[in-house]
Amino acid sequence: MNMFRKTIIGILISGISVSIINGCSNKGESGATIVERNIAIKGKEIVPLSKQLTRSYTGSLEGAKQADILAKISEAVEKIHVREGEFIHANDAIISLDRTGPTSSYMQSYSVYQNAEKNFNKMKYLYEEGAVSESQFDGAKTEYEVSKANYEAALQMVELRSPIAGTVTSIDVSVGEYVYPGMKVATVASTENLRMKLGVSGNDIGYFKEGAEVKITFEAESIFVGAGRVVMVARSADPVTRAFQIEVEVNNESQLFKPGMFAKAEITVSEYDNIIIAERQSIINRNDKNFIYIYSNGKAFEREVQLGVEFDGSSEIKSGLNVGDTLITVGQNYLRDGIPVKLARFVDATGKEVEF
């Protein structure tokens, strides 16, 4: 009797188990039970957008007014009067070279100048008193002026000064270093406005017109963003590089940018209004055709789409995707047409993301 009861209970339990499995699963052709789980996806409501097509180029920034200070004689650096990053005025001294060195005529010209000045002052007094002739006075005056000019020229050789007001962007020598004629010892740049020189191809030269606005970015610990405008467009290409030179003036009143920085210039090529855009990662390319998946009533549906303009990270959809559709942007690579899915996250028309 106990064995009969155990057998009946076993049969009942087995029947219940089979019913549960059949209620939650489908059977394949072989009869094996296949459990289908809905794939979690993220959807985004499609709205018409306005988009700018841009092109980016890189180049280095330099002062709109920039002066390289060059050595004119071969002497040792005696003193450096400024520091990098310091603002200076026009004619401020930057570097002093050894005035007593073998190639410097400073000491000799200074001595001649002092003697000529004393003689001129004496002759001027005597001339005013009528003790010397006008020709004698003129001779002393000429000697004084020539010696003064020679002295000032010799001084310029050993006292290197800035021809412009601006910021010292580089000091390229150190005290005691021996310089030679033509060697760059320092650079001074006006930093309120900077210049950026770009080399662009013949295919891109048509994008640039004088006065066109340009976005300037420099990425370091944070992203600096500035505004610039095209001030010069070359009429012919460089014979060596075959590139056209473009000059962009950068507003730097905020002083975020520094001469010597390597930055990116972004110019708007075209503007598009009320177009449908899809992130490139949501588009599947298969057999030279492009597909997307949309979400509707708990299922994913495949659609072939025709692409238009390519933007940075996204593409225009010319057909196959409509305003109001829910585009599947995450999980689409695991789908097939008509498969049940679970909408886990949804981005509405305002850009607000909701998690279910």
Model confidence over 35-85: pLDDT tens digits? 457 899 999 999 999 998 888 899 888 887 889 999 999 999 999 999 998
Same domain, 173 and 78: yes
Domain encompassing residue 118: 72-182
Mean model confidence pLDDT for the chain: 86
Q: Out of 126, 154, 182, pick the residue that ends a domain.
A: 182
- The domain that holds 130 is classified in CATH as 2.40.50.100
284: pLDDT strictly greater than 60 = yes
Total domains in the fold of the chain: 3
Angle value at C-alpha 194, between 192 and 200, nearest 5 degrees? 160
Cβ-based neighbours of 80, under 8 Å, separated by 6 or more = 94, 95, 96, 171, 173, 174, 175
Does any domain span residue 29? no
Task: Let me know the angle formed at the C-alpha of 237 by 231 and 243, rounded to the nearest 5 degrees.
Answer: 85
Q: Which of 148, 166, 182 is the endpoint of a domain?
A: 182
Q: Which amino acid is at 37?
A: R
Written in H, E and C, the secondary structure of 306-336 is EEEEEECCEEEEEECCCCCCEEEEECHHHCC
Report the C-alpha gap between 343 and 356 in whole angstroms: 7
Model-level pTM greater than 0.75? no
Task: Please state whether beta strands 289-296 and 326-330 pair in parallel, antiparallel, or not at all (unpaired).
Answer: antiparallel
User: Residue range 306-321: average pLDDT?
Assistant: 93
Quote the distance between the C-alpha of residue 201 and its chain's center: 19
pLDDT at 3: 43
Tokens representing residue 176 in the block: 């005691």
